[in-house]
Amino acid sequence: MSKWFCATTYMPKLREVEVDRVTGKFVVVNGIRRARETDAESYFENEDAAIEWLIQRATEKRDSAKENLERYEKALNDRLAMRKPT
């Protein structure tokens, strides 16, 4: 068994786990086979890589939120421009 780090996007902290076995795309944790990387959860051999993955995911979410806000603000302004002057 070896010590790995599990990073999840819904929890801003790392979980230390004991990995029983490792293959190319999977790890076995407590007898359960898990994908090494998904959109929501990933397993890393070192803590620094796990932290960088969390930072990258948070940055992507922030950028997406900014794009959505800009799109909604434009849509709102377009609709406000439709008002007739009183």
Instruction: Read off the pLDDT of residues 2-61 as tens digits, 9 standing for 90 and up.
Output: 999 999 988 888 999 999 999 999 999 999 999 999 989 999 999 999 999 999 999 999
**What confidence score (pLDDT) does residue 85 get?**
79
Q: What is the dihedral sign for C-alpha 25, 30, 32, 35?
A: negative
pTM of the model: 0.80
Is the per-residue pLDDT at 86 higher than 80? no
Structure tokens at 25: 């795309």
**What confidence score (pLDDT) does residue 13 get?**
86
Strands (E), the chain: 2-8, 11-22, 26-29, 32-35, 41-44
**What confidence score (pLDDT) does residue 45 get?**
95
The sheet that has 41-44: what strands, in order across it?
Answer: 32-35, 26-29, 11-22, 2-8, 41-44
